Structure 1
């Protein structure tokens, strides 16, 4: 096949997972793929990886990131039947910690106040086996080019809008109608299902939705085959259904089976002496959500809930003035508003305004790739962002503790 010298490579380098697309010169999709981030062996969150880098693992972490990007690029080219020479250039978005590790730069500035990487600017990366890659700039130490790409892909906005990239780093941006505000919260790998023994990516066999139907839990599976695991949206929906059915209390505790006066009690069990929710079992696998995994979900959703609430308060935007909430990232599938309400993922007044955006970072990178003025527009967006650090602030800590509970009682 004759090489097309104007192909564009798009990479979303996530803490838990990488996603990529290959576009033709007009922006049409030629290939799409993803893979797990191999850096997980040094920790599931960026703080552990940054600490590992200070303890001698920096070169290994850099090589793992480069190898993952190279592997993903090769898979995209294989799908499209194109050689590397066919790619003119690429765009890569990630949070500041991932960019710093990818570039092999010192990480100590991200581990202590004022939490800044060596550079916030965008830069071209030239590595063997890859086309020239532009690494998007960052806004602050924990708000990166991934959020900028996501926001850029949704422009122009009409009316006050909150955009949230659900993932290990819950980055969020608020357009209040006149100015931009942004922040991030540490959610961990929960929303990707990475902390679950039965967690998996959103692919064939993954449970992506769970609903209560009379005295049973109905599982919806990607590909309509037998369940193999739970992806992020499936975990959220399963916990939401368990709350609605009264199997999980508002405090997040699994109730004793004897306390349930319906056949739904059969989904409650013990695993290694710990309460658990058994969604499915066959000769190949069993899908269990253990009590400690529900607690981890509470911490993640509590951080996201509190972060969104505090960002609006900081901007001085009254709840009724917020017109829409755009969710993208790890949840993978659109979830019913009732599910979001059951788990209290966000303040209740936000939930009815939620719209899901698939692959928000890649959509933004795609728009950036086909617009000649794209990089200048992105830089203007970055300069317009007002970062609002949340970690450790009394307002956030108070909101976080208040946001840990689920909805009370069966829906």
Structure 2
């Protein structure tokens, strides 16, 4: 069997490929050995993120996908897409970008100082996001949060967005089982880490509550995920409850009679994470109009008009999470999260997470970059860079290593266009204008770092006073924690379900027009968008 020699950041690994099936791609082999390459196309060779350099050895010939995705220079230098290339013998390759999912880090709140004894009952809240998983440990007897950690969702090996993962699950029972196991194992790992850090047994965990979007719940439970690819099922309830919970109790090491609650979704693509966020914000507890936007690969929007809760969901794509961009990365150390400038010609001042040299830009940094480029007239409102930046992109850092190109802007426009169109459509259905909103609640890892002024300028969020806007990182997790701690919150959740009016954007005739007009990089209109609107 062949041997795969891998160099990552100047560190050499030797993988003896003895258990792979004949015909596995380089990406398959690397994934199976815990070396996870970024990808958001489901392994069809279109995103170009799983780029590797073949130093020695032979692989199968270039595929048509590679010929259309790789540049002539990259092909000439020996670069391949790992999802397309299959080794024909011993191969030595270099990897420049990995996305290892098994690295857990502290949430901002981190350890609280709260403790637990062997007689206390513990609970764990899980926000199972498409991109990130967040978990917190609670002392149920004292009602105190003890700890919180986060990691990337390991299901990303099947693609950055839910559609790729659902398609993989539907096409292969083995892949469906693996997607379920990846999520199960991540939750088990989180529980073990949290309890070990406080020197308590995981068997003290008597309650686990999980919120997620519908796709993540269905894939975790291993049932009904295939229905989510059928438009006619979008507005129908989806049963994401596994047949039995005993295997999870055993795998997670929790109490043998632990109460494991998968908070069920509202419908096809409106998950329990949005309901948890609405609960955490107390969105319907006032007669005033309020809007909630949960930005992500699948963006969800909820509008409270004082009497009814209007809810919808749209595919935002991975750009909000920094995935798919030429220089993008998640919100982690080395990512540019904010950009400022002292003047129109001054160099950009970069706020890098963790300090030090920037390694890429995350979604919130991209929003700032686009706003600044518009002001400098380097970028027009259609989303095209001016010469001489069309070919090489515009450099954000002085060294010129991190550049924004037209494709990056286009990916962002598509994500923001869908979310903005959904917002405008709900406002129109409720008979409200933007200025009627008394609260705008933005949540999600991307939304929590937004510069609201920049976001309004490019039409990502309503063009209203920044004083009206509330930014929260983990409202879905906060709602999940409320459900973990209180049965009363569960009753409030059921009231939310009864008051929600679900809007299926795929069936809305006006949505396509709203989406196209929302692609422009300009503030959202005060009185709705008219078809055929023209830029000034």
TM-score, scaled relative to structure 1: 0.88
Deviation string for 1:64-116 (max 9, x for gaps)?
12122222222322333332112221111111111111111132321113225
Secondary structure at 2:505's aligned position in 1?
Answer: coil
One of 216, 221, 230 as aligned partner of 1:103: 221
- Tell me which protein shows more helix as a share of its residues: 1
Gap change, CA 1:312 and 1:122, over 3 Å in 2: farther
Please tell me whether the aligned partners of residues 5 and 88 of structure 1 are also in contact (alpha carbons under 8 angstroms).
Answer: no
Match in the other structure for 2:370:
239
Match in the other structure for 2:181:
63
Secondary structure at 1:143's aligned position in 2?
Answer: coil
Q: Which has the larger radius of gyration?
A: 2
Listed as ranges, the matches of 1:112-191 within 5 Å are: 112-116=230-234, 119-120=238-239, 125-126=245-246, 127=248, 128-130=250-252, 131=254, 132=258, 133-155=260-282, 157-158=285-286, 159-191=288-320
Match in the other structure for 1:211:
340
How large is the RMSD of aligned CA atoms in angstroms?
Answer: 2.3
Gap change, CA 1:149 and 1:52, over 3 Å in 2: same
Listed as ranges, the matches of 1:10-409 within 5 Å are: 10-25=125-140, 26-56=142-172, 57-116=175-234, 119-120=238-239, 125-126=245-246, 127=248, 128-130=250-252, 131=254, 132=258, 133-155=260-282, 157-158=285-286, 159-214=288-343, 215-257=346-388, 268=389, 274-280=391-397, 286-331=401-446, 333-349=448-464, 353-407=468-522
The worse-fitting range, judged by mean Cα deviation, of 337-346 and 46-55 is: 337-346
Q: Distance in 1 between matches of 2:241 and 2:488?
A: 15
What residue ranges of structure 1 are gaps of 5+ in the alignment? Answer: 258-267
Q: Distance in 2 between matches of 1:106 and 1:140?
A: 12
Q: Distance in 2 between matches of 1:137 and 1:350?
A: 35
Secondary structure at 1:361's aligned position in 2?
Answer: helix
Q: Distance in 1 between matches of 2:452 and 2:430?
A: 25
Secondary structure at 1:255's aligned position in 2?
Answer: coil
Please tell me whether the aligned partners of residues 212 and 245 of structure 1 are also in contact (alpha carbons under 8 angstroms).
Answer: no
Q: Distance in 2 between matches of 1:379 and 1:53?
A: 30
Q: For this pair of structures, how many residues does the alignment match? A: 392
- Quote how far apart the aligned CAs of 1:381 are: 1.3
TM-score, scaled relative to structure 2: 0.69
Deviation string for 1:287-330 (max 9, x for gaps)?
22222111000000011111101011112223332211100003
The higher-RCO structure (CA 8 Å, 6+ apart) is 1
Match in the other structure for 2:113:
none
Q: Distance in 1 between matches of 2:325 and 2:311?
A: 30
